[in-house]
Amino acid sequence: MKYLYKKYWEMTLKIVRNNEGNYEDAKDVFQEAMIVLYKSIRSGKFRGESSIKTYLYRISNNIWLGKLRAMKPVWNIKETEGIFQKPEGDDQDTALLVKSLIERIGEKCRNLLLLYYWEECSMKEISEIMSFSNEDSAKTQKYKCMGKLIELIDSIPSLKERLQTR
């Protein structure tokens, strides 16, 4: 354990510090990663197909990203789906602002979201239209595209507030 600590501690510290964390966060992540590694070795899950360094890197990175997600205020994807409804009355200004943000997420994401929300295409249809390998790939991409859009919405507090009160 001492050897692993000396050899790989700096790697975990770098992962955490490069992603909005501090020294104390890195200590927690490294300790959790060591426990996961130990349990993986004992259970036979770690079979030496990758190096311990690679395995620990992946474990540490996953643990830290999980902690980051837990700390970040999260939009419920289901709640944000309403932003794709066709605008009515006073919602025109909000709809124009959302439309401008949709333009900024890239053509592929824009097309995918519009196919899903406005054209009401199924994931199967979208995967065929957009040449995804399967429906799961289309779903994953839709989720990522919504994440991009939500990040942009979060950057405009007044819009975020208007959408949350709808």
Which value, to the nearest 10 degrees, does the dihedral of the CA atoms of residues 24, 26, 31, 35 take?
150
Determine phi and psi for 160, rounding to 5 degrees. -55, -45
Least trusted range by pLDDT, from 36-40, 64-68, 133-137, 159-163:
159-163
High-pLDDT (> 70) share of the chain, %: 82
| pLDDT score for 11 | 92
Nearest-10 crossing angle of helices 23-43, 2-17 = 130
| pLDDT score for 92 | 62
| pLDDT score for 25 | 92
Q: Is the pLDDT of residue 74 over 50?
A: no
Tens-digit pLDDT profile for residues 107-135: 888 888 878 877 788 888 888 888 888 98
